[in-house]
Amino acid sequence: MAAAIETKKLTKTYKSRALGLINVVEDLDLYVEEGEIFGFLGPNGAGKTTTIKMLLGIIYPTSGEGYVLGNEIGDMDIHRVISYLPERPYYYEHMTGLELLQFYDSLFGNKDKAKCQRLLERVNLAADASKTIAQYSKGMQQRVGLAQSLLNDPKLLFLDEPTGGLDPIAHREIRDLILNFRDEGRSVFISSHELSEVELICDRVAIINHGKIWQQGKLSELLKGARVEVVADNLTREFSDTVKIDGATVSFADGRLIVDVAEDESNINALIDGIRSAKGTMVSVIPRRKRLEDLFVETIRGARPATPAATVEAEVKS
Amino acid sequence: MRAIMAIAATTVGEAIRRKVLLIILLIGVLFLAVAPGLNTLSTQSETTVLKGMVLGIVQLTSAVIAIVLTVYMIPNEIERRTIYTIVSKPVQRWQFLIGKYLGAVGALGIMMLLMSLVMEITFFLQFQSGFKAEDALDLLRAPAMFFVQMSLLAAVAICFSTFVTPLVNFFLSGGLYLIGSLFAPFFDSLNQNSSTPMFAKLTARFVGVVLPNFSIYNVQNPIINPGQTIQNPTTYYMQVTGYGVLYIGLLLVLGIVILDRREV
């Protein structure tokens, strides 16, 4: 598979009055394959938007290399085959949905009303094409945003928090659209906090914190470290205090013990033996796939603390 | 070119809907409409005073509109993230800035045209048969020159808007407009006076060259320039328009260079 995005030691350094030189993004090695949905995850201020802006050529890297669809970042030719939907952008409210698409289409030097209408149909806004953006709900604005991002039939889409602040119905609509993009052979780069959403649609993910990548790979591989939930009855609360397994989560409610433990045969056997010898009744032993949220929390907790990128960027801009 | 025109057209559409600008325009138009009622002088002085008052209202209102319109233009686009949806397309930053500027000038033109229309109607209603077609045309020269002046002011403000906050820009552009309007003749006389010390002369010359001279566009205001006559009006208007266009060009180039290097 060819690379849709590839970066080598991409770094962005800001000069902060209070903190001196700060690496908002540091030695970033990112690899996104063509035709996949890639999730770019991280807490606020981790450096996600800074990375996207560098990839789009909106801001300039301090050092390192980056390639988008084989072209070096900053090359204007890429802009004909990529598109970007920022997090909750403002669209000119006096325009109708159709006029807005025609405006963005003219930025490519085109004037194709039929195409704009088709795209509005695609995002289920055909009936609202003549309404002004001011009359659109958040979900409708996000859908018109997705429509504008398809005007140039892009090979690669950058979506920054595409479902942020939307209701569950709008979530689902946007999710379905993104899945359709992949089916059409497009690459999608999603920056998001919505981990359940990302888990549902992404092929690969990277977790960034304090400007560094801490995890990167196929979701199926990253979530491999499975866990097992052991449930037992007829035990006393004191028994739960005797469970000493590294990384285990023990809870006790209404005489029922629930232990969430990493998949390790010896640990699980020891736990079951302990339950039996305490005259407890085994209820269930359920293997559980690690969730992306677990991986995310583990990764972020393990990452070293530093000044969040957003704070530095805001300070530098001020 | 299509991208620039699309950005300009969108900017005009947005600007003429901005409530704050419409309120300023409405106040200006109201003052223009009631101006004859404020004039209590003799018939002979009436025309001169009314002309001065009306042109003053058009100029002041246009200046406030020009500054308010442009100081927020670039910062708002960045703040609201609209710029990202534009510069992530095959649109260079210079195209974006030129488009925004042309849009600002377009919106300014529409608003000044409206004020000029009200001004003409006011004069027609005041003097009726005494107000001839040539008077109407003659009166329009001043707003035409003001338009060049305001386009220059808009270029100053849009250039500043690429690197300063809107509030700072408001005072900076406003201050520069006042200095360029009121003190340019003073710098000129300092420069030409043989008794002026060399340092003051050089400073006056430097300031006179670097700062935009807004005063050259006030030719028809009979209160500001009493008794001023221009030997060859056509040449003069062409020269001052050329000066304005050149200065606007330089300011836009400076703005482009700054915006291009700026991390947005």
- Encode pLDDT of A281-300 as tens digits: 999 998 877 788 888 888 88
pLDDT value of position B104: 96
pLDDT value of position A10: 94
pLDDT value of position A306: 46
Chain B nearest-CA distance from A84, in A, is 6
pLDDT value of position A97: 94
Q: Would you say residue A1 has pLDDT above 80?
A: no
Q: Would you say residue A313 has pLDDT above 80?
A: no
Q: How many residues does chain B have?
A: 264
User: Who contacts B47 (Cβ-Cβ below 8 Å, separation ≥6)?
Assistant: B127
Q: Which domain holds residue B33?
A: 2-261
Q: Give residue for tokens 């433990």.
A: A261
| Alpha helices, DSSP H, located in A132-283 | 138-149, 168-183, 195-201, 219-222, 237-242, 265-277
- Average pLDDT of the residues in A58-65: 92
Q: Do A79 and B80 touch (CB under 8 A)?
A: no
Other C-beta atoms closer than 10 Å to the C-beta of A168 total: 8
Q: How many residues does chain A have?
A: 318
| A3-81+154-222+294-317: CATH architecture | 3-Layer(aba) Sandwich (3.40)
pLDDT value of position B99: 96
pTM score, whole prediction: 0.81
Tokens of A229: 């939930």
Tokens of B159: 């250039």
Q: Would you say residue A305 has pLDDT above 50?
A: no
Q: Do A84 and B84 touch (CB under 8 A)?
A: yes
For the ranges A15-29, A161-175, A220-234, B99-113, the one whose mean pLDDT is highest? B99-113
Rounded to 5°, angle at Cα A67 from A61 and A68? 110
pLDDT value of position B147: 95
**Pick among 3.40.50, 3.30.70, 2.40.128, 1.10.3470: CATH of A227-288:** 3.30.70
Least confident of A150-154, A235-239, A303-307, B137-141: A303-307
What whole-number distance in Å separates Cα of residue A239 and Cα of residue A18? Answer: 52
What whole-number distance in Å separates Cα of residue B79 and Cα of residue A141? Answer: 18
Which of B85, B95, B96, B260 should be substituted to probe chain A, the one whose Cβ sees the most A Cβ atoms within 10 Å? B85
What is the count of structural domains for chain B? Answer: 1
pLDDT value of position B222: 58
Q: What is the pLDDT of residues A66-111, one digit of tens each?
A: 999 999 998 888 999 999 998 888 899 999 999 999 999 999 988 8
Establish if B3 touches chain A: CB-CB under 8 angstroms: yes
Identify the sign of the CA torsion A307, A313, A316, A318: negative
Low-confidence ranges of chain B (pLDDT < 50): none
Residue of B nearest to A87 (CA): B81
What whole-number distance in Å separates Cα of residue A85 and Cα of residue B81? Answer: 10
Identify the sign of the CA torsion B75, B80, B81, B87: negative
pLDDT value of position B40: 63
Using a 10 angstrom Cβ sphere, with 0-12 exposed, 13-18 middle and 19 or more buried, the burial of residue A62 is middle
| Domain segments of chain A as ranges | 3-81+154-222+294-317, 227-288
What residues of chain A lie within 8 A of the CB of B93, using their CB? none
User: Who contacts B181 (Cβ-Cβ below 8 Å, separation ≥6)?
Assistant: B214, B215, B218
pLDDT value of position B231: 74
Give the pLDDT band of residue A307 (cuts 50, 70, 90).
Answer: very low
Other C-beta atoms closer than 10 Å to the C-beta of A49 total: 25
